Amino acid sequence: MIFTEQPAIEAKIKAYCEEHGIPLIPLEWKPLPFSGKWGISTSFFAAAAAEARSGKNVVVAQRAQEIAGQVKNMVSDVPGIRLVEAVKGYLNLFFDTQVYTRRLVDAVLEQKDRFGSGPATGQRVMIEFSQPNTHKAFHVGHLRGTILGDSLCRILEFAGHELVRANYPGDMGLHVIKWLWGYLKFHNGEEPATDITKWMGEVYAEAAQRLEEDPDLEADLRALYARWDQRDPEIVALWERTRKWSLEGFRQMYAALDVRFDVYYFNSQEEKPGKEIVEELIRRGIATDERSQGGAVFVKIDEVLGLKKEQFHTAVILRSDGTALYATEDLALALHKFRDYPDLARSVYVVDVRQSLHFTQIFKILEIAGHPQAQKCSHVSYELVNLPGNVVMSSREGTVVLLEDLLREATTRARAEASKKNPSLTEAQLESVAKAVGLGALKYPMLARENTKMVTFDWQTALDFNGQAAPYIQYAYVRCNSILRKAGVDISDLQPSTFNYSLEPAEVELIDWLSRFPSEVQRAAAEYKPLAIASIAYDIAKAFAGFYDACPVVQAELQVRLARLRLVAATRQTLSNALALLGITAPDVM
Ligand code: ARG
């Protein structure tokens, strides 16, 4: 909602309140649902309530309406405001439709790829996401976290925050030891060529399977873990070399997905500082050390807090043999981040929902230990991805669906769809369409769903040119493009739009969706909810399809044509901005 009159109107209200001794309460404005006109509303209940509290004998609701009624007369002559109402304590302002439309379209075309962005908040936010494990495959479960985290970064940045994109690959732990064991035993000397991550996953799966088949091999594994723990140079060197392979595989995958990071943390680096924190917790009596009795080190959080009911349960923070656990490392990592970025306003972890208790415990233990940063940490959780046929996504079983395969299949399928739809595309065009549409088809379903609900991914829905899917939205963008091309004008040459004709309902609908984009960006950022953007991108595309059917552009008479061309350009820009927040691009033709 573009509300340029706000300062003028607030000044008038303020002057009136001062003059009449009405308490000055900051006004909150909310857009009104479209009712033939665009409008915005605020209320005077807070002012009336403040009067009542100060001892004046007033009935709040009545008094709010009284103030609204008086203020109404003060603001009815503001240019651009068509109608003012005072209803039940609310002040409703309605804009002149033509003025409003022009203002919106002009704003979009002037702000271009910044349309919808928020003013700088001065807040730095770290979002940790993706966090694949080295020496393992990258499967579709990681894919959701990667796409979700990337989109959240884009949205929060656009909304006005300063972002730190962080990754935390699991580069040490039992899974790595298993891999090293399997490599030494069955693949010694081999090196990966293409599809590195896939190969790493295969070596892991084979090792895991052999270990499962023969429990006697467990002793081998323990021995290898002990060698790692003593930093046996041979093992350390092998680990370093093979870890690099995984990281190179991830780098290639992130490039293919158009995802980037500012900082990498590794859990191998957090082992030592984590153990130190554990020692400190034991010394201070926060953690219980039962290692001498063959037990582990743990924190009975509820007991420490004196809670009667079970809430945080007990967290194990060190193994009985003194080796670091996942939790040991997370204690250190949380603090490490604030050492690197002392001004972080928030430290967000995008991790699947199964780890909710883990993060609640880690943040609570740090809080108990007196680290105020813990209160700035939060876990944004997401549910897993379900594939038709219920393919199990575990790297222990052979049946994982790997990112490499998904990406290839997406591109192949997108290419087939695109050439069916438009046989006149050149080879080069087909290639770029396949890339953009394939990637969109993978990303959109991961984002167009509540984070906490399971995503069911299937190709038919993902590549639907007529339903709520990326290709449909990309196609709307391409149509805008082709109208503008056909018209043969350069939008930047056109005068600011005058919409001095009566707008068609389909036109109003489209304008309405465009005008909501900035507030949806804010909502998506505040609620960590890319779904809000995925939805409005679709709504704009759908409204555009309605406009396309009902409103001639190139054929319309001159004044209407020019105004509509600018509206089409504004639609194209808003679609492109929305898609960018989802990490999706639109091809120029398709
Ligand atoms: N690598 C872990 C996994 O695949 C996720 C790490 C999440 N981040 C963290 N700080 N623990 O389960």
More confident residue, 323 or 312: 312
Number of domains making up the chain: 4
Q: Which of 20-34, 234-248, 530-544 has the lowest mean pLDDT?
A: 20-34
pLDDT tens by residue, 414-423: 999 999 999 9
pLDDT of residue 36: 81
Q: Is the CB of 325 under 6 A from ligand 1?
A: no
Is there a single domain that holds both residue 197 and residue 328? no
Which residue segment(s) compose the domain that 211 sits in? 129-167+169-264
At residue 130, does pLDDT exceed 70? Answer: yes
Q: Is residue 350 part of a domain?
A: no
Q: Is the CB of 351 under 6 A from ligand 1?
A: yes
- For residues 247 and 253, give the distance between their C-alpha atoms in angstroms, rounded to a whole number: 10
Q: Measured between alpha carbons, how far is residue 485 from residues 229, 481, 491 in Å?
A: 65, 6, 10
pLDDT tens by residue, 262-319: 999 999 999 999 999 999 999 999 999 999 999 999 999 999 999 999 999 999 999 9
pLDDT level of residue 334 (50, 70, 90 thresholds): very high
At residue 390, does pLDDT exceed 90? Answer: no
Domain boundary among 233, 249, 264: 264
Tokens describing residue 406: 């998904």
Is there a single domain that holds both residue 84 and residue 208? no
Is there a single domain that holds both residue 209 and residue 146? yes
E strands in 353-450? 377-382, 385-386
Q: Is residue 392 part of a domain?
A: no
Q: Is the CB of 349 under 6 A from ligand 1?
A: yes
pLDDT of residue 395: 45
Q: Is the CB of 330 under 6 A from ligand 1?
A: yes
pLDDT of residue 5: 85
Is there a single domain that holds both residue 75 and residue 151? no
* Ligand 1 center to 163 CA (angstroms): 20
Q: Is residue 121 part of a domain?
A: no
Query: How far from the centroid of its chain's Cα atoms is residue 14's Cα?
Result: 39
* Ligand 1 center to 127 CA (angstroms): 13
Is there a single domain that holds both residue 228 and residue 90? no
pLDDT of residue 391: 47
DSSP code per residue over 504-539: PHHHHHHHHHHHHHHHHHHHHHHTT-HHHHHHHHHH
At residue 194, does pLDDT exceed 90? Answer: no
Tokens describing residue 523: 């909502």
Is there a single domain that holds both residue 460 and residue 527? yes
* Ligand 1 center to 170 CA (angstroms): 7
Is there a single domain that holds both residue 374 and residue 240? no
Is there a single domain that holds both residue 260 and residue 375? no
Closest CA to 178 of 134, 221, 234, 215: 221
Please report, rounded to a whole number, the percentage of residues in the chain having pLDDT higher than 90: 83
- Average pLDDT (428-432) is 94
Q: Is the CB of 170 under 6 A from ligand 1?
A: yes
Say which residues have a Cβ less than 8 Å from residue 478's Cβ, sequence separation at least 6: 586, 587, 588, 589, 590
pLDDT tens by residue, 22-67: 998 899 999 888 888 899 999 999 999 999 999 999 999 999 999 9
pLDDT level of residue 400 (50, 70, 90 thresholds): low
Q: Mean pLDDT score of the chain, rounded to an integer?
A: 93
Task: From 355, 360, 382, 403, give the residue whose CB has the most ligand 1 atoms within 8 Å, as the site to mutate.
Answer: 355
Q: Is the CB of 333 under 6 A from ligand 1?
A: yes
Q: Is residue 437 part of a domain?
A: yes
Beta carbons of 299 and 366 less than 8 angstroms apart: no
More confident residue, 350 or 194: 350
Residue 210 is part of a domain; what is its CATH number? 3.40.50.620
pLDDT level of residue 1 (50, 70, 90 thresholds): low
Query: How far from the centroid of its chain's Cα atoms is residue 370's Cα?
Result: 31
pLDDT of residue 137: 87
Task: From 175, 351, 393, give the residue whose CB has the most ligand 1 atoms within 8 Å, as the site to mutate.
Answer: 351
Closest CA to 131 of 304, 379, 320: 379
Q: Is residue 120 part of a domain?
A: no
